[in-house]
Structure 1
């Protein structure tokens, strides 16, 4: 019994030596090309280039809990709806939809000429609390609390009419 254990140990050591010889370059040092890429989340929006090419919507980053969605027709409760005078979005009608998939979510975007943001709530289900960060062409930044269950007018749709605004960021929470 003891002898077979030694044989097994020697065989295991020999196998490990072969694997080591294969994994280490002849120079004895590993190069940067041999190293796997670091696992660092940059929070870049997955598929952003394809979405920009098809829908002309610039999605920059997020936490994965506030997602761009094609807007259904007719409008479906439970989606945040951003309206812009630009002919962008999945239908090219200036209506962009976002879905909060958790209790919180955040997204960084650049959507020009936004005039209204509708919360994701309904008459029977309260929506998320949404803070929207906007900017004007002149660089005036504002943060708006979006009505969770209705439209919130921004930019040119406010009374009195304001300057055209670009939506930069949205944070949603319960």
Structure 2
């Protein structure tokens, strides 16, 4: 019978120690009443020095420079589809546009990616190892094309019965 009162005393001591520890923590983090002001307490210092939040808007980096140099409008993306030098290797998405003398190439990395852009008069896209779909517009009409892996796919005016110019507006790829 003497064991139960001893357990109660141990439990009360542990509870008391926990309460004292909690009070010490509260005092240390919020300041001592009547002591230092809130502006010099540890939490006030941390809260006052924290930087603002970074918000990713997915804008394409250096889009203005690319527009000026290559006349290609790159708007937004997740960073997994990027403009690439066509001579830079294999495994690139390649785009042919009637208004461009050379191919336009994009590198795809990761498990999936997306890029919104504007390239007028696109008529063919060569796929890579990714499953790729492109969205295009002609007037107010929107069309999507599934791109064949590692071969050329006619899109836009080459796939349109009326031969109308199509604007490439989005590329989506996934493994």
TM-score when normalising by structure 2: 0.68
Separation in 1, partners of 2:119, 2:50: 39
The residue that corresponds to 2:3 in the other structure is none
**Quick one: higher RCO (CA 8 Å, sep 6+), 1 or 2?**
1
TM-score when normalising by structure 1: 0.69
Q: 2:97 aligns with which of 68, 71, 84?
A: 84
Once the two structures are superposed, the pairs formed by residues 9-88 of structure 1 within 5 Å of their partners are: 36-72=51-87, 76-87=89-100
User: Number of paired residues?
Assistant: 135
Structure 2 CA distance for partners of 1:94 and 1:86, relative to 1, 3 Å: farther
The residue that corresponds to 1:102 in the other structure is 110
Q: Do the aligned residues in 2 keep the contact of 1:156 with 1:162 (CA within 8 Å)?
A: yes
CA-CA distance at 1:81 after TM superposition: 0.3
CA-CA distance at 1:147 after TM superposition: 0.4
Query: Would you tell me which structure has more helix in proportion to its own residues?
Result: 2
Q: Do the aligned residues in 2 keep the contact of 1:85 with 1:94 (CA within 8 Å)?
A: no
Task: List gaps (5 residues or longer) in structure 2.
Answer: 1-30
Q: Secondary structure at the match of 2:54?
A: coil
Larger Rg: 2
Separation in 2, partners of 1:52, 1:37: 31
Task: List gaps (5 residues or longer) in structure 1.
Answer: 1-12, 25-29, 88-92, 121-126
CA-CA distance at 1:104 after TM superposition: 0.7
Separation in 2, partners of 1:161, 1:148: 26
Q: Secondary structure at the match of 1:38?
A: coil
